[in-house]
Amino acid sequence: MSTQITNEDLELSVLETDAAETPTAAQALRSARLSSLDTLESEAIHIIREVVAEFEKPALLFSGGKDSVVMLHLATKAFWPGKVPFPVLHVDTGHNFPEVIDFRDRTVERLGLKLVVGSVQEFIDRGELAERADGTRNPLQTVPLLDAIQRNKFDAVFGGGRRDEDKARAKERILSLRDEFGQWDPRNQRPELWNLYNGRHTVGQHVRAFPISNWTELDVWRYIEREGVELPGLYYAHEREVYERDGMWRAVGEVSMPKPHEEVVTKLVRYRTVGDMSCTGAVVSDARTVADVVVEVAASTLTERGATRADDRISEAAMEDRKKDGYF
Amino acid sequence: MSTETALLETGLRESTLFRFATAGSVDDGKSTLVGRLLHDSKAILADQLDAVARTSADRGFGGAGATGSQAIDLALLTDGLRAEREQGITIDVAYRYFATDRRSFILADCPGHVQYTKNTVTGASTADAVVVLIDARKGVLEQTRRHLSVLQLLRVAHVIVAVNKIDLVDFSESVFREIETDVQKVARELGLGSDGIADVAVIPVSALDGDNVVDRSDRTPWYSGPALLEVLETLPAADELESHLESFRFPVQLVIRPQGALAPDAVAAGLDVGAYRDYRAYAGQITEGTVKLGDKVTVLSPGHEPRITTVTGIDFAGSELAEATAPQSVAIRLADEIDIARGDTIAAAGTVRESSADLYAALCWLSPKPLREGAKVLVKHGTRTVQALVRNVTGKLDLATFNVEAASSLELNDIGNAQLRLAAPLPLENYLHHRRTGAFLVIDPVDGNTLAAGLVKDHPGDHEDERYVI
């Protein structure tokens, strides 16, 4: 067994190819295999199509964050030249970066999609959720998410979760079964074999589908670069008023005001994740273009969650606990 | 080139994907080996390492005076769930990602002791290679034989045996050679390697100290082979090996027929609305082989005679391709207006057998609910799910002797043979030659759980695989 191209192989390719374009051995070998990005893209599109074919009413979680933007881009490719055949669902913390909401609305308009919003603020206003002592609203998204799923009878919800993000996510299936309460039972997961996905569920259960499970943060950025995918501007370096808290740079905003002792400075920053503005930190960066970001991510020594999400730092099992309770 | 530079260049360069799985027994140091691979290939970022270092220090790992990676319990890098960290065990298959300057790797880390067949089958079903761990102090155990027999059954392209904890036997060549001989003996008994299906590489390693994991060790001068990562970087992936014997196979996932509902962004970008009004294409992922424009294909649908037509278009999101190859996801247009739906298969003409409702198969039983003769189940094959009746269980593999013994039921972790009757015929192919169209799931119709991994076998009495070529 060998990777070398034999004479026989070469003769074959000479026969099959225009004589003027006889490939070299190296070209023949390269064309035999897809690049890792093409392989990941085809895998994701296959999963998106399986879910649409097998479920009654799927929806895609769309926050305007880069992973959900990539998911939506993959969906447009999966059904081209048709429309994306499902609505998008945004769980709105109320603690938004205004440019992200603007981006969300423009994207939905451009693709002719239906937008369903589950609002954390409305639940707080009705007294069905209480603001946390630390002010972050990311963990509060679970209740409006499950409410929107039930109210709209969604039986499958696409998420942009990736297994490289977190140790608990590393163990979650691509199709993840959730019970009536949206809970994930990590000790009772179905084996996922070959490319045969089993999405069967009973009434009340639903499935979370993670088509880009096998992508890394770097894959996502290389794909954004390759495909020319548009993102909210705050993913790229820009001047912003920030202050330091818990070792992270926080933006000054309505929901994220500095305390008197926290000095506000103007820095060139960008975001690696976008979420609840009050707990998402910026990183100091001069990466103004997608190419700059790819280089920066490739050289990074911190994970994106470790660098920018205060809520994931709370405990070693923060993500696991939230997923068990029905979180993304 | 420094590893950092290599990593950076990997990030900026197109690489190919290589999927591998690890399998081992209790306490043979698999998590440590995976942690070592990730750590030494710089896939662990600073905050992850800090968290692990803090926990290691809290637990007094490595003893006083330990420094660097010696002071870090690398196993903690891979244990994901709270219960795993608390109990110091690995519960479920975990997926890890790292890259070198040659390849991007997806690692399915399969625990050894809990539901080991389920985990090994899961990890191996998508793997180009599987690394089996053996504790150098214990040698080949019954579980090693079980792992190897599963890998043989699933026709994993490459099997690598890492003889771990070689430091604890003082880097003894004789201990290693004895284990190596035992491994090759089991491989021969199983038929691993003899028919070109898998080759078995045996490597002495110390996951704890890093010997022969990423770099060759000078503490095993008697071993002249490559380090584990070198092997993983250079083995051909399964689709490279299969390329010479492949025939085009394409299970239809859905029909793309937008009629009026064209994508507004595509229309805004200048899509010719009139030309796409009657667009109809069959979307799916090529499971095997290559398709070119103008190829003759057979369409297989239950209830229809096989129909031959011609490929007139291969579309991918607005690009028209001249050819496409596995595992690409594309949409195919055909010359004739024929009724095609999800679950049908498009295949290279003249290469497939008649569909059959009689299914002979090997089953890896993955459920605590045993399989009984007469049970009604669901079979998911390609993009079609059909009802099935389990007519009989024809035998069970004895993992001690590798003989097939008489049996009438299959229990959790059993591997056996069974005959099923399907409610509709399926384009079944022998798993030996077709890893995708020869594979299926057995699903519980009551709760929807996956009961077994199924591998299609030839009907008894079939001599020629290509007897009913259409």
How many residues are given for chain A?
328
Instruction: Extract the runs of DSSP E, i.e. beta strands, from B100-198.
Output: 103-110, 129-135, 158-164
- The CA distance from B468 to the nearest CA of chain A, in Å, is 26
ipTM: 0.91
> Would the CB atoms of A191 and B318 count as touching at under 8 Å?
no
Answer left, alpha or beta for residue B195, where phi above 0 means left and psi between -120 and 50 means alpha: alpha
**Are A225 and A291 contacting, i.e. CB atoms less than 8 angstroms apart?**
yes
- Listed in sequence order, the residues at least 6 apart from A81 whose beta carbon sits closer than 8 Å to its beta carbon are B256, B258, B262, B263, B266, B271, B276, B279, B318
Name the residue among B12, B256, B263 with its Cβ closest to that of A298: B12
A44-59 b/e with 16+ CB inside 10 Å = b?
Answer: bbbbbbbbbbbbeebb
Residue among B15, B122, B263 minimizing CB distance to A82: B263
Q: Which two tokens stand for residue B307?
A: 């129909």
Mean pLDDT by 10 residues, chain B (470 residues): 46 76 82 85 70 74 62 69 62 83 88 74 93 95 87 90 96 97 90 63 94 94 95 84 70 93 92 90 95 95 90 95 94 94 94 91 94 96 97 89 89 93 94 91 96 92 56
The nearest alpha carbon in chain A to B316 belongs to A77
Residue pair B134/B164 in contact (Cβ under 8 Å)? The answer is yes
Span A1-33, pLDDT tens digits: 333 333 333 333 332 333 333 333 333 333 457
Among residues A159, A157, A155, the alpha carbon closest in space to that of A202 is found at: A155
Q: Is the dihedral of CA A328, A216, B381, B384 positive or negative?
A: positive
Tell me if chain B has a CB within 8 Å of the CB of A295: yes
B interface test, pick of A3, A17, A113, A167 with most B CB neighbours within 10 Å: A167
Across A181-206, average pLDDT: 89
CA atoms of A101 and A308, how far apart (whole Å): 20
pLDDT tens digits for range A38-72: 999 999 999 999 999 999 999 999 999 999 999 99
Closest listed residue to residue B18, CA positions, set B297, B277, B235: B235
Look at A112-121, A213-222, A299-308, B305-314 and tell me which has the smallest mean pLDDT: A299-308
Please tell me which residue, A308 or B386, carries the higher pLDDT value. Answer: B386
Amino acid at B387: Q
Hey, are the CB atoms on A167 and B118 less than 8 Å from each other? Answer: no
- Single out the residue of B100, B232, B242 nearest to residue B158, CA to CA: B232
pLDDT, residue A68, reads: 96
pLDDT at residue number A20: 34
> How many angstroms away from the CA of B47 is the closest CA of chain A?
6
Mutation for testing the B interface, residue in A34, A107, A196 having most B CBs under 10 Å: A196
Q: Does A11 touch chain B (CB under 8 A)?
A: no
Residue A10 burial class via C-beta count within 10 angstroms: exposed 0-12, middle 13-18, buried 19 and up: middle
Strand order in the sheet with A206-209: A115-119, A88-92, A58-61, A156-158, A206-209, A175-178
A300 or B447: whose pLDDT is higher?
Answer: B447
- For residues B20-55, one letter each, b for 16 or more C-beta atoms within 10 angstroms of the residue's C-beta and e for the rest, the string is bbbbbbeebbbbbbbbbbbbbbbbbeebbbebbbee
Measure in Å the smallest separation between the Cα of B18 and chain A Cα atoms: 9
**Residue ranges of E strands in chain A:** 58-61, 88-92, 115-119, 156-158, 175-178, 206-209, 238-245, 248-251, 265-270, 281-284
> pLDDT at residue A224 above 60?
yes
Residue A110 scores a pLDDT above 90: yes
CA-based angle A214:A216:A217, to the nearest 5?
A: 145
Interface subset of A 34-53, CB within 8 angstroms of B:
34-43, 45-46, 49-50, 52-53
Contact B51 A295 (CB under 8 A): no
The DSSP 8-state label assigned to residue A233 in this structure reads: G
By Cβ distance, the residue of B48, B121, B241 closest to A191 is: B121
Residue A271 is encoded by which pair of tokens? Answer: 């975001």
Interchain contact, A81 vs B266, CB within 8 Å? yes
| Neighbour tally for A159: CB within 10 Å | 23
Predicted confidence at residue B119, as pLDDT, reads 85
For range A293-297, the mean pLDDT: 88
